[in-house]
Chain A
Amino acid sequence: MGEKFVVMQGDEACARGAILAGCRFFAGYPITPATDIAEVMAAKLPKVGGTFIQMEDEIASASAIIGASLAGVKSMTATSGPGFSLMQEAIGYASMTETPVVFVDVQRTGPSTGFPTKTAQGDIMQSRWGTHGDHAIIVLYPSTVEEIYRYIVTAFNFSEIYRTPVIFLMDETIGHLRESFYLPDPEEFTIVERVTSSSVDQNTIYQPFLEESELDDEIQPLVPMGDTRFHISGLFHDESGFPVGNADEASKLVKHFVNKINLHIDEILIYDSYMIEDAEYLIIAYGSTARSAYRALKLARANGIKAGLFKPITIWPFPANPLRKILSNINGIVVAEMNMGQFAREVMRINKKSIPMETVLREDGELIQPYAIVEALTRISSEHEE
């Protein structure tokens, strides 16, 4: 089977990529601009032996996918801002119980109902810290339809490998965008499968949270409920999953959640960079804004500004080390994003040498246009020349 040239909508690519990744359960609730994902899942899942259900709300959707995943089926839901807010408690439960699940958030303009049909990148911080308590999370954010198709598979793989909820951020622009690309051959992908009971030692009692120490990077594979009996709880628990009440156990567990992601950060960080070899000025942009940034890069280069572009796919954990490396040769930074500077604040945090920085921000539901980024580059480069 070779590559096929297709025109596909972003939301559809998300659903089709998820099925390729092995997703066989989807629970969702209608919300613009993510509804198309549910519609494609409703049509396709019963044909591949999977199950679709439209739940009564987003809380139920998030809960149902965790239940289905614990029972051994790869699961996903998709929503937008208001629904994503409702799902936060369940995201924490998935973190606490180390259950692999994928939450898609196709961002729209907020807060509250905001502009249901307009674009935004306002959920950057919510995707990281939306649920209460300390935890780590993986957040991926593609910027093209082809990337949606490819990286939703990565999102499922990461959730399986690290036994964690993975947030797949999109925005209205790329969710509703129809774009052509060569549909990759399924053979090209590595799919991480769930383990089964036959792969665990049947002579010992299965301990779903077995780990040697807080610094151990081994992650106990999750065996489906029904294959082996165990207990799952959102309470602090010991290695066997049963509640504990002491401080040491609680601390060990929280550190394990955080460390299991941090210790594998090199495998988790995905990013693209363009023309950074000789770059003096760096644009940082992600999602649909990275598309404007790419155009701005070309325009700036034509104007003689040696610009480069850093486009993170992994938003969380924050790509601190790769960025630091690039920034060592940079005279000015422009961060462009459709919010009031959520990612820019993180860039500032690692900008220890205080390299001059400009932000190009929009929070009004409209796209950032390339010329706005070019203007910022022009300003920051002329200030440097002076």
Chain B
Amino acid sequence: MDTHVALSAEKLFSIGPFPVTNSILTTWIVTLLLIAFAYFATRKIKAVPGFLQNIAEAMVEAFQDLVSSVAGDKTKVFLPIITTFFFFIIVGNYLGLLPGVGSIGFFETHDGQKTFVPFFRSINSDLNTTLALALVSVFATHYLSIKYLGLGGYLGKFFSLNPIFLFVGLLEIVSEITKLFSLSFRLFGNVFAGEVLLTTASTKLFAIIVPIPFYFLELLVGFVQALIFAMLTLVFMVILTQKNAH
């Protein structure tokens, strides 16, 4: 059997006209986990925090220090979305490392070829998820830019009468598109390559001791990529909401 990690997520069933793939199913699980944690951690807020509230406070405090060092006075507006990006991506990455995700499934026959369809799949190994995250990031950045600079200031960043600045502005529009692709492909490539690596190490080589260093590598990569996505979104937001310093 040739173990092969499919590039696109496999469809499990349909709800009406809407196909549900295994990565959508895993995304629902990640979302439920995060919402449940948020609900239980903030139910009864005490001055001396209990266990879950303590963890939530540590999470928020760590990110508040990070965001305020870059954003300054706009921290309160940027903090929720940056922290959400980080925790959604890191919980998704780490859930994809659990035993059973990617390995428990069923066999399906597509015109003569038997393929393996897992029930759950690491969410960021699907380009749809990372593209959606990148779209949300870029739209949030531009929305906040319009909110802080006004429509005139926002358009003035890209279009101006001076021909040199006009050329620079057009290049910046192109760079916004490449930002979208680079954010999504960086995350997708890292996590998908990690999936292929773990599958190869677990099936083509000795499957007991050999995958252990690769699992540590994936722990590191999952954390770093989540941090990079959040930090890049933060830096782009800060740059786009700055008044013109030309």
Q: Do A and B bind each other?
A: no
